[in-house]
Amino acid sequence: MVAATLALPLLYFHRATFSSDVFIARDILLVYYPLKQYWAERVSQGEFPAWYPYNGLGQPFAGMLISGVFHPTNVLYLLLPLGVALKLIALGSYVSALGGTYRFAREWGLERKSALLAGITYALGGYLVGISNNLLYLMAAATFPWALWGAERFLRQPSARRAAAAALLLCLILLSGEPQSFALCCALVLVLVLLRPERAPLPRAASRAVLLVVLTALLAAVQIAPVLSLRGEARPTSPTLDLATYFSFHPLRMLEFVLGPIFLNPETDTVASFRLADEVFHSGVHSFWVNSVHVGAPALLLVGAALWAHRRRALAWAVAAMALLVLALSMGRHLPLYGWLYQWMPVWNSFRFPEKLLPYFMFACALGAGAGLEAVLREPILSRRVGQAAFVLASLCGLFALAEWQGRVFSSGVIGALWEKPQPDIQDILHGNVLLASVVAGVSLGVMGAVLLRVRAPATLAWAVVSLQLVILYLANGDVYQVTLPEFLEHPSQMVATILEAEQDSGAGRPRVYGAAPEIQEHETIEGIAPIDIQSINTLDSLWADTPALWRLESAKPYLPVVSWRAMSLLGIQQERLGLPPSRILELFHVKYVTVSAREYRRINGKPDVIVAEIPRFDELLLRNPQALPRAYLATPVCVPDQDAARALLFSRSFTPGQQVALECPPGPEHVEAPKDPGALGQVRFVRYAPEEVVLEVEATQPAVLVLNDAYYSGWSATVDGRPAPILPANVAVRGVRLTAGSHQVTFSFRAPGQRLGATLTLVTLGLLGLALLVEWRQRAVGRTSPAVPR
């Protein structure tokens, strides 16, 4: 059984397992490769990565949950090449998901084959396979079955050892970077008390559950404290309900539970087909969260069998009700429930993307499938009834396929009615997908019906059902995950290579870039290169955040979630306001290179002398921004009361970039004349430039402000000639320090807010937990060696 648990996911992902290919998709390339590379580089040098300089003018690294800075699997990035480590972690997540579901099912009383069916259904179902493009959500979904297993064991028989195991497993969900899953899993720990009231008196069980949640929070304090300390400065994750409910699960996609990924075919779909996701399913971001949510017709039939077999048990209907509640929440904007929680629960409005909740529904379905198989094996009469139902449902699938074949009732009838401007080529793809999937679902149900009616030996029947479910999931989801060649991570793109060659002697800090080129709007073809590889090439060439970090180039474009709201308000504004370069905002913040649409740049008669490189196949240009200000310079302050006034000043005609700085400072002169010669204020020289420490030598000919074009954020402190000096917000988003005339050494230092408190709480908790384990171990040892007392 252990061998099957390890082998099945690896065989399922044979393309990634037995080749040098690495998992790839937009979020892997934009987020996880750069973040993990940065973590490995800093830790391998014996440094803690407190500050991340490569996105949106910089942001705290530990306060960025998605960095997963404290997750133990990060050790692999120190030992192995980047792509190999990430592939092993991704593949290991499927092994973990299968094993955790198997153990939880066994804890709830299912036999081995039934528990294995549950593990296969969850780990190899559409959602987990589809989320291989987003590492933190995959890791969280693979961890929470283990966390629930540990919690269930602790609630049934509490001990220090079980408390430590359960709390550490729960803690791993948060450390993977997924707060919503962590919050929901902690809530489910409390729900487990209600689902098992007979195991212990309710108050006692409830106190155990609360103790476990508190213990988990204390263990995770090293991650929680930095995140909470930055809530007022980082951009809101979901400032409005509309943004929070992007990627809402559309009710029509429930058809995928049975038929498979009929709405997207990753092998043949064009970029234009994403309009289906936006215009019909209203995802909000031109794509689906996952390309498949397939559970499998055999598994769903067994879920129905489990509900029928346990129809008189309150536990079965309680689990079903919870699963349906999660499904309703995942539908986000399509039902009012998510909006109510967003409005009434202060914590809930920090979360976004309701479809992220689907793995909990899938987990319940997987357990239901295992319970259904158990019931079928136990009751021959139920087995026959389920077999007969399978043939009825197979007939319905056949009728649906016939109706689609003859009249396109779904692709043209249903989708055509919902789609304001339907595209025939996409409807043709959908028609073929629906037709094929309906036939496959019908055949699978027919096979299952024959197995249930013909096979009498319980062991043979169980293995036949498990094998059928595995085959069905493989046929539907085997091509949903995406891999690419590792060369894309090992060699810089044409744009990056051009910048690196031009800036090899740039001095302190790498130049900032800004990817303003739009995504490719139509399917590009390059002979011998797969569509996913073309997308990867385009992502790297376009300098989309955060890919430049792979080659230590800073992207000024905000993308990661802890970018300061100040930087987001300027650099994250719509492109039509930002304008094509050169633009004042890009000049202000040391952005030296920008990618733009060649067609748009020529339409506005852009200057040809700033074009550095061109990629015709993507209609892109790389522009040099000759007016970009230095990373550090001296300027005359114009005092303003707040960031709104500073923003207004930056866009005004009276403001002179490079000579003046909008400084949020105590009341003073509203305007100070800037010197006619920009160099008249003095000179700035970098002595040291590191992520958490910047040292500069300044020669100021008169009182001025030293502007450092890095993000203004709490946690930064400054000293001037060894004495503390206040850091003031300069030009809305960066740091400014007032200086008197003369020679000065200015040092900027960063310490992550909340990091010391969080680390202290975590270490104290670990110490106390270790002491409790030691006491428990000694008590057990004494109990084993004590002689029996005669009566």
pLDDT 10s digits, 658-716? 899 999 987 654 444 445 455 578 999 999 999 999 999 999 999 999 999 999 998 99
* Pair 599, 718 in one domain: no
Structure confidence at residue 350 as a pLDDT band (50, 70, 90): confident
Point out the least confidently predicted range of 70-74, 204-208, 621-625. Answer: 204-208
**Separation between Cα atoms, residue 630 and residue 611, nearest integer Å:** 20
**pLDDT averaged over every residue in the chain:** 86
> Do the beta carbons of residue 681 and residue 744 sit within 8 Å?
no
Point out the least confidently predicted range of 10-19, 265-274, 484-493. Answer: 265-274
Output the CA–CA distances (angstroms, integers) from residue 182 to 139, 356, 410, 785, in the order listed: 12, 12, 38, 41
DSSP assignment letter at 594: E
Output the CA–CA distances (angstroms, integers) from residue 423 to 24, 275, 742, in the order listed: 28, 9, 69
At 105 the three-state DSSP class reads helix
Residue 296 lies in a domain: no
* Pair 620, 535 in one domain: yes
Point out the least confidently predicted range of 103-107, 233-237, 383-387. Answer: 233-237
**Separation between Cα atoms, residue 324 and residue 307, nearest integer Å:** 13
Residue 177 lies in a domain: no
pLDDT at 188 over 60: yes
Output the CA–CA distances (angstroms, integers) from residue 276 to 42, 48, 284, 421, in the order listed: 43, 44, 11, 10
Residues 6+ apart with CB under 8 A from 234: 59, 63, 561, 562, 563, 564, 565
- Give me the mean pLDDT over the 178-190 stretch: 90
> Do the beta carbons of residue 66 and residue 560 sit within 8 Å?
yes
CATH of the domain at 744: 2.60.40
* Pair 684, 601 in one domain: no
* Pair 616, 495 in one domain: yes
The pLDDT, as a whole number, for residue 444 is 94
pLDDT by residue (tens digit) across 36-50? 999 999 999 999 999
Closest CA to 21 of 87, 89, 93, 115: 87
* Pair 501, 608 in one domain: yes
The pLDDT, as a whole number, for residue 150 is 95
Residue 217 lies in a domain: no
> Do the beta carbons of residue 155 and residue 196 sit within 8 Å?
yes
Residue 70 lies in a domain: no
Point out the least confidently predicted range of 133-147, 391-405, 517-531, 634-648. Answer: 517-531
Last residue of a domain, one of 624, 647, 663: 624
Structure confidence at residue 250 as a pLDDT band (50, 70, 90): very high
Backbone phi and psi for residue 646, each to the nearest 5 degrees, phi listed first: -65, -40
CA atoms 144, 149, 152, 154: torsion sign: negative
Q: Where are the alpha helices (DSSP H) in 230-288?
A: 241-244, 255-259, 274-275
Long-range pairs for 339-347: beta carbons < 8 A, 24 or more residues apart: 339/241, 339/245, 342/238, 342/241, 342/244, 342/245, 343/241, 347/183
Closest CA to 550 of 25, 62, 82, 46: 82
pLDDT at 521 over 70: no
pLDDT at 142 over 90: yes
The pLDDT, as a whole number, for residue 787 is 60
CA atoms 418, 423, 426, 427: torsion sign: positive
* Pair 742, 670 in one domain: yes
- Give me the mean pLDDT over the 767-777 stretch: 89
- Give me the mean pLDDT over the 375-388 stretch: 93
* Pair 641, 741 in one domain: yes
- Give me the mean pLDDT over the 538-554 stretch: 85
Closest CA to 591 of 501, 496, 513, 500: 513
* Pair 636, 620 in one domain: no
Residue 439 lies in a domain: no
The pLDDT, as a whole number, for residue 672 is 47
Residue 536 lies in a domain: yes
Closest CA to 708 of 679, 677, 687, 729: 729
pLDDT by residue (tens digit) across 418-455? 888 888 888 888 899 899 999 999 999 999 999 999 88
pLDDT at 522 over 70: no
Structure confidence at residue 786 as a pLDDT band (50, 70, 90): low
* Radius of gyration of the chain from its Cα atoms, rounded to whole angstroms: 29
What b/e sequence results for 551-560 when a residue is b if at least 16 CB atoms lie within 10 Å of its CB, and e otherwise? Answer: bbbbbbbbbb
Residue 565 lies in a domain: yes
- Give me the mean pLDDT over the 514-537 stretch: 69
* Pair 703, 580 in one domain: no
* Pair 645, 676 in one domain: yes
- Give me the mean pLDDT over the 485-502 stretch: 78
Please give the residue range of the domain that contains residue 642.
Answer: 632-750
pLDDT at 195 over 90: no
Closest CA to 561 of 18, 188, 52: 52
**Separation between Cα atoms, residue 410 and residue 417, nearest integer Å:** 10
Residues 6+ apart with CB under 8 A from 659: 635, 636, 674, 675, 678
> Do the beta carbons of residue 148 and residue 185 sit within 8 Å?
yes
**Separation between Cα atoms, residue 174 and residue 66, nearest integer Å:** 9
Specify the number of domains making up the chain. Answer: 2
The pLDDT, as a whole number, for residue 506 is 66
> Do the beta carbons of residue 189 and residue 213 sit within 8 Å?
yes
* Pair 738, 645 in one domain: yes
pLDDT at 304 over 90: yes
Helix (H) or strand (E) holding 636, with range, is: strand 632-640
* Pair 542, 587 in one domain: yes
Backbone phi and psi for residue 81, each to the nearest 5 degrees, phi listed first: -60, 150
What b/e sequence results for 257-296 when a residue is b if at least 16 CB atoms lie within 10 Å of its CB, and e otherwise? Answer: bbbbbbbbbbeebbbebbbbbebbbebbeebbbbbbbbbb
The pLDDT, as a whole number, for residue 509 is 67
Structure confidence at residue 259 as a pLDDT band (50, 70, 90): very high
The pLDDT, as a whole number, for residue 199 is 54
**Separation between Cα atoms, residue 209 and residue 186, nearest integer Å:** 9
pLDDT at 391 over 70: yes
Last residue of a domain, one of 624, 651, 676: 624
Residue 706 lies in a domain: yes
pLDDT by residue (tens digit) across 271-297? 445 667 778 888 877 778 888 999 999
> Do the beta carbons of residue 299 and residue 121 sit within 8 Å?
yes
Higher pLDDT, 83 or 635: 635
Higher pLDDT, 286 or 158: 158
Point out the least confidently predicted range of 458-462, 520-524, 671-675. Answer: 671-675
CA atoms 627, 633, 634, 636: torsion sign: positive
CA atoms 580, 586, 587, 591: torsion sign: negative
> Do the beta carbons of residue 666 and residue 628 sit within 8 Å?
no
Higher pLDDT, 102 or 568: 102
